[in-house]
Amino acid sequence: MQNTENTGQIVLGATPIGNLSDASPRLREIMASADLVAAEDTRNFHHLAQALGVRPTGRVMSLHEHNEQHKISEVLDAVRGGATVLVVSDAGMPAVSDPGFPLVEAALAAGLLVTAVPGPSAVLTALALSGLPTGRFTFEGFLPRKAGERRRRLESLVSEERTMVFFESPHRLAAFLTSVAEVFGGERQVAVARELTKKFEEVKRGPVAEVLDWAAAGVRGEIAVVVAGTDEVNDAQPEDHVGQVEESVAAGIRLKEAVAQVAQKQGLKKRELYEAVLAQRQNGEN
């Protein structure tokens, strides 16, 4: 993959998520030949290269969430000059819950070439091992740390029929599963995958209430949580929930905020619910 035509490119390289043997020959080749390596953590990249027996010939620079915006112009200038730039995160594919997306967005806007060396993916590995439907799924990444914000995000997914994949830290796993049980119900099927491809890989499957009991004792390692989508068809009509909105308004909540809360909880469109409230109020006056 050495650049010989003076046409620069950005290469997104998927690195192992645990087992070093998952590093592809293409990844090893581009690690050695890239003119510039933009790594989430330069120390981790050098450790990976050493473990794989690779000797990078290009310059290695840091590219992480705190400096990415400031480094984009430097990377793009290198590509314009004909350089092959390898972008790597600490594990998995860059730009997916990892640094890289702003760079990709800027490069494409500038008309520059972006390609990838595919490889390990915690999202797809957890999904495949979950035992839950894989035909349609959505990746939700990390949810907010604060309980209220996390709950609101989950409430927005109440009507989601696709299997959902989340990332979570081990020390917040029990709190996350508690929110899942409260919003989706304790019988919702989940799978918690930890330490994927590593020696102590484990996938805990079952109703969220049972898995929560297991997680409450403490869990270590990198975590991916797969949650089944709803099997309930949402046939709710806006008119059916006007009363809930009016109850919230009577309790002192502003109309638009009340509409937003009920719409999110019931899987309705805010505009349609708002119009239904206004229509019933108008009918009540006539």
For residue 204, what is the enclosing H or E element? strand 202-207
pLDDT at position 265, please? 72
Q: Residue ranges of the alpha helices (H) in 53-201?
A: 68-80, 101-109, 122-130, 147-155, 173-184
pTM above 0.85, yes or no: no
**Residue 128 has which token pair?**
């495949």
* DSSP line for 168-188: E-GGGHHHHHHHHHHHH-TT-
Place of tokens 């999110």: 264
**Residue 185 has which token pair?**
């119900």
**Long-range Cβ contacts of 46-50 (<8 Å, 24+ apart):** 48/15, 48/16, 48/20, 48/23
Q: Which amino acid is at 268?
A: L
pLDDT at position 5, please? 52
- Length of the chain in residues, anyone? 286
**Rounded distance between C-alpha atoms, residue 8 and residue 34, angstroms:** 11
Quote the distance between the C-alpha of residue 46 and its chain's center: 26
> What does the pLDDT average to over 230-244?
79
pLDDT at position 272, please? 87
Q: CB burial class (10 A; 0-12, 13-18, 19+) of residue 116?
A: middle
Q: Going by C-beta distance under 8 Å and a sequence separation of 6 or more, which residues neighbour residue 239? A: 276, 280
Residue 275 has pLDDT above 50, yes or no: yes
pLDDT at position 271, please? 85
pLDDT at position 13, please? 98
Residue 283 binned pLDDT confidence (cut-offs 50, 70, 90):
confident
Which domains does the chain show, CATH number per domain? 9-120 (3.40.1010.10), 123-227 (3.30.950.10), 238-285 (no CATH)
Residue 6 has pLDDT above 70, yes or no: no
